[in-house]
Chain A
């Protein structure tokens, strides 16, 4: 019978490592820790930068960086509700709309509105980017004494345009404008939560770099926008001006991902 090899044998419950394996395990420990530390350094070295958004690459004057977020701003005006609530600030003589501000609630949700019969006053944080004004509303109160009629929509023609569907809160600076999957997922959650959907256009329409997005009848866009969010798309439909806000009534059948 040949010689029996004398290999160390570890019995788990004994809680003792055979002496012959001690040196081996010192090197295993060093290797494992070094591999983990090294891979940690490697993984941290080059993580994606979500600030590289599609539009930053063709950054122009009309597509600006988020400029402003001032809390505790108060505005009074009339409300239009469709496709999303917009507060219109009217001139003293009541003839022209000076400013149309998009409204949202706190976090990733839309604002709870009242009927559009009376003037309302809204307090919240104002976000501004290029020609978007967005008020993240903390408090919306009806000014009972003053009746108000929202501005009437003025047709601005049929348009076909290339751009990106974003949420109207993150885009003007609610969060860092992003790129890719995380940006898309975040925008989707915002839009499901009724934050206004906007269409940021590559070439300005009627002098504006963004439009409020609507379905063909001016209603909030349906689930068809889901797969189009935060990717280059071409949309076709009628554009209307409501106060200072452009509304894009998109024909879903003609919408396409580029």
Chain B
């Protein structure tokens, strides 16, 4: 959380996080190579050039599954939230392992050839009219391109430069990359003869990911209250009884469209602030209050409960909404007190 962009603001938790990640990758590769060499003794050994290609490829797939599981896991169990803080590090490691996969392919299948390896990727299996030999490489290349762009733009500098909406939208293409990799594997490695284990990995991972997302969406739909016609009274939304909002917590109400409002209680004061964090659209309403600021559960950005402003020197701001309490009932006006999400655009009193 710094306005001066440093490559990575290392902290103890980040170091441990990355160490565990790299250790897990090494454990996978070690397991893979030791087992493959042992299995190779019993049958015709697989050539040494193909082993790392397969090892890096399947490891990258596994890492991507892990990265995409964290979002729904945090919705299902808040204890997973700390995993989200450094999720982009998984993205970078995935990109590095995928790059190792690509370059070992260049170094083996496309080596010793006068053809440019990038071109070679596309000419070596062109047969669009047959499903049993549909070109699998372009799927992988596209996925790798997505991973590269996302790795290159993962830093907060790009988040600020592109704006949270565009940045987040771009980074959602990780799901497209996942789909492309499943296609890459289905038309590629899964066409081989003895890959029951790989089929189990691919189908198991994809199914796990899908069920996690479904379960998270169901839970989210139950938690999030949608604003209905009957909640509206002369332009104000009836939110909840004052006594229903716990101290330090919020009631979240979703407006038609993508906006949602978090109605917080801080001791005796009730305030309404946007549920969408200015950083990466994180769920502010699931945050905690510290010194009159709500702290986002995703990366810890803070916003003042009544002004929506991040503490100086930060200039981020989220909308806040007028609140009225009548006979113990909280009403919120769905028009923000100010319109800009960026405090810098306004003159401070």
Interface residues of chain A, those whose CB is within 8 Å of chain B, are: 1-2, 4, 7-17, 21, 24-25, 28-29, 32-33, 35-52, 106-109, 176, 179-182, 184-186, 188-190, 192-193, 226-227, 231
Report whether B32 and A10 are in contact in the complex, using a CB–CB cutoff of 8 Å.
no
Q: Given A47-B54, A180-B192, A184-B125, answer yes or no on A40-B35 (Cβ-Cβ < 8 Å).
A: yes
B194 neighbours in A (Cβ, 8 Å): 46-49
Q: Given A33-B23, A109-B113, answer yes or no on A44-B47 (Cβ-Cβ < 8 Å).
A: no
Q: Does any Cβ of A come within 8 Å of B329's Cβ? A: no
A42 neighbours in B (Cβ, 8 Å): 35, 197, 200-201
CA A38 to CA B248, docked complex, whole Å: 43
Q: Does any Cβ of A come within 8 Å of B138's Cβ? A: no
User: Could you give 7 example pairs across A and B, Cβ below 8 Å?
Assistant: A32-B24, A41-B32, A50-B50, A181-B191, A185-B125, A188-B123, A192-B123
Interface residues of chain B, those whose CB is within 8 Å of chain A, are: 1, 9, 11-14, 20, 23-25, 27-36, 39, 43-44, 46-47, 50-51, 54-55, 58-59, 62, 66, 78-83, 85-86, 109-115, 120, 123-127, 130, 133, 136-137, 188-189, 191-198, 200-201, 243, 246-249, 288, 295, 297-300
Report whether A37 and B112 are in contact in the complex, using a CB–CB cutoff of 8 Å.
no
CA A21 to CA B29, docked complex, whole Å: 29
CA A51 to CA B40, docked complex, whole Å: 11
Query: Which applies to chain A's interface (DSSP): helix, strand, loop or mixed?
Result: helix
Q: Which of B1, B82, B188 has the most chain A CB atoms inside 10 A of its CB?
A: B82
Report whether B113 and A193 are in contact in the complex, using a CB–CB cutoff of 8 Å.
yes
Report whether B30 and A46 are in contact in the complex, using a CB–CB cutoff of 8 Å.
no
A38 neighbours in B (Cβ, 8 Å): 31
B2 (CB) vs chain A CBs: closest residue: A13
Report whether A189 and B109 are in contact in the complex, using a CB–CB cutoff of 8 Å.
yes
A178 to B: closest C-beta gap in Å: 9
B298 (CB) vs chain A CBs: closest residue: A12
Report whether B109 and A185 are in contact in the complex, using a CB–CB cutoff of 8 Å.
yes
Report whether B46 and A48 are in contact in the complex, using a CB–CB cutoff of 8 Å.
yes
Report whether A181 and B46 are in contact in the complex, using a CB–CB cutoff of 8 Å.
no
CA A127 to CA B120, docked complex, whole Å: 25
B166 to A: closest C-beta gap in Å: 22
Q: Which of A29, A32, A46 has the most chain B CB atoms inside 10 A of its CB?
A: A46
Report whether B249 and A11 are in contact in the complex, using a CB–CB cutoff of 8 Å.
no
A186 to B: closest C-beta gap in Å: 6
Report whether B82 and A17 are in contact in the complex, using a CB–CB cutoff of 8 Å.
yes
Give the top 8 A-B pairs by smallest Cβ distance, nearest first.
A40-B31, A15-B11, A107-B112, A44-B35, A12-B85, A40-B28, A44-B36, A37-B27
Report whether A44 and B13 are in contact in the complex, using a CB–CB cutoff of 8 Å.
no
Q: Given A33-B23, A185-B125, answer yes or no on A25-B82 (Cβ-Cβ < 8 Å).
A: yes
Report whether B28 and A12 are in contact in the complex, using a CB–CB cutoff of 8 Å.
no
